[in-house]
Amino acid sequence: MVENQKPQIKVENLLKKFPVEKGFFKRVVGHIKAVNRLNFKIDMGEVLGLVGESGCGKTTLGQTILRAMEPDDGKIYFNFGNGELQNIMEMSKREFRSYRRYMQMIFQDPFSSLDPRKTILDIVGEPLKVNNIARGKELENRVREVVASAGLNVEHIRRFPHAFSGGQRQRIAIARALAPNPRFVVADEPVSALDVSVRAEILNLFKDLQEELELTILFIAHDLSVVRYISDRVAVMYVGKMVEIAETRELYFNPQHPYTEVLMSAIPVPDPRVDKERKILEGEVPSASNPPAGCYFHPRCEYSQDICQKQTPELEEIREDHYAACHFADKLTLRGVK
């Protein structure tokens, strides 16, 4: 699928935990491991979809790999274009600031992500200005350029965000992320807040820009059909852990983890003639501050056995480029989407 198989970003042992506080003086009584020692890589020009249910840590992962939140442990290697991988965790905050332009983000809520007091010119121009990439007339020209490529009218750059609809605001957010010519973009649920007809437009825009600019994207979403449409590979998260990563078709049609199987069967199919039988998950998502022993999924897993309660399975390569964290991954025959 992607010719250039060099990794753009490689994550090792990434950990982000949040303290659980209690009482008058906010004593720390425990930790929620929102991102629990993850290892993965994303190749250059690849779109990795990241799916999982709310609270599984996918948003935290997106923010920690950009160091928008400081990780507690782990290494993040990034290719800044010179062909070698540099560990951005070794850089001081100050040093890292000048590299931020290469890794941008697009947020879910197009209303909260644009400062209402700034014009489009200021918003899209901000990354150019703070990084001293362009100034004055030059900056305005670059802003016009990206605004146009995001499908907006360049005459509107003096307007404020309140003049735009949700879909147009998301285009502005995309223009801002692309203005400093980044190599990597984290898109955190960029279409979840949009209506169906607008969603298609923005997805198409994403696809076009990604191909045109050869961007590497981490696409976070809970909507599995959206991820299916946009991603080259897909990773599935459950309670802070990655349970499966594989090439998109492979993951959807040939899942190797029981949780993925349940997810796939839960997707509502826009076709009334499709057989509606599905796997219904029992119980609830365990709390990340106090996960069950062994495999986190075992209390809800229909294939669970003794070993699952004792030993936490690691992410292992089942087939070429297909990783799953399940003791029985290669033994089970699971059902994908119909």
Site for another protein in 57-116 (CB under 8 A): 63, 66, 68, 97-98, 100-101, 103-105, 107-109, 112-116
Give the tokens for residue 78: 């990034």
Q: Which stretch binds another protein (CB under 8 A): 7-15, 71-79, 225-233, 304-312?
A: 225-233
| Binding to another protein in span 293-332, by CB under 8 A | none
Q: Which stretch binds another protein (CB under 8 A): 35-43, 74-82, 83-91, 222-230?
A: 222-230
Residue 198 makes contact with another protein by CB under 8 A: yes
Residue 54 makes contact with another protein by CB under 8 A: yes
**Minimum CB distance to another protein, residue 166 (Å):** 9
- Partnered with residue 44 across adjacent β-strands are none
Give the tokens for residue 258: 């029981």
**Minimum CB distance to another protein, residue 177 (Å):** 8
**Minimum CB distance to another protein, residue 262 (Å):** 6
* The amino acid at 250: E
Residue 25 makes contact with another protein by CB under 8 A: yes
Can you give the three-state secondary structure of 240-297, one letter per residue? CEEEEEEEHHHHHHCCCCHHHHHHHHHCCCCCCCCCCCCCCCCCCCCCCCCCCCCCCC
Q: How many CA atoms lie within 13 A of 168 on its CB side?
A: 14
Pairing of strands 233-238, 7-22: unpaired
**Minimum CB distance to another protein, residue 186 (Å):** 9
Among 58, 59, 265, 297, binds another protein (CB under 8 A): 265
Whole-angstrom Cα distance, residue 118 to residue 97?
Answer: 22
- Closer to another protein by Cβ: residue 165 or 309: 165
**Minimum CB distance to another protein, residue 13 (Å):** 23
Among 72, 201, 214, 247, binds another protein (CB under 8 A): 201
Closest alpha carbon to 56 in 182, 199, 239: 239
**Minimum CB distance to another protein, residue 102 (Å):** 10
Residue 219 makes contact with another protein by CB under 8 A: no
Q: What track of x and - describes contact with another protein for positions 110 through 149 (by CB under 8 A)?
A: --xxxxxx-x---x--xx--xx------------------
**Minimum CB distance to another protein, residue 266 (Å):** 4
Closest alpha carbon to 187 in 162, 223, 163, 157: 223
The CA distances from residue 78 to 66, 75, 181, in Å, are 10, 10, 15
Residue length of the chain: 338
| Binding to another protein in span 153-172, by CB under 8 A | 156, 158-160, 162-163, 165, 167-168
Q: What is the DSSP string of 112-150?
A: TSS-TTS-HHHHHHHHHHHTTS--HHHHHHHHHHHHHHT
Among 15, 20, 213, 267, binds another protein (CB under 8 A): 267
Residue 18 makes contact with another protein by CB under 8 A: no
**Minimum CB distance to another protein, residue 274 (Å):** 8
Q: Is 29 exposed, middle or buried (0-12, 13-18, 19+ CB in 10 A)?
A: exposed
Whole-angstrom Cα distance, residue 68 to residue 179?
Answer: 19
Count of residues near another protein by CB under 8 A: 79
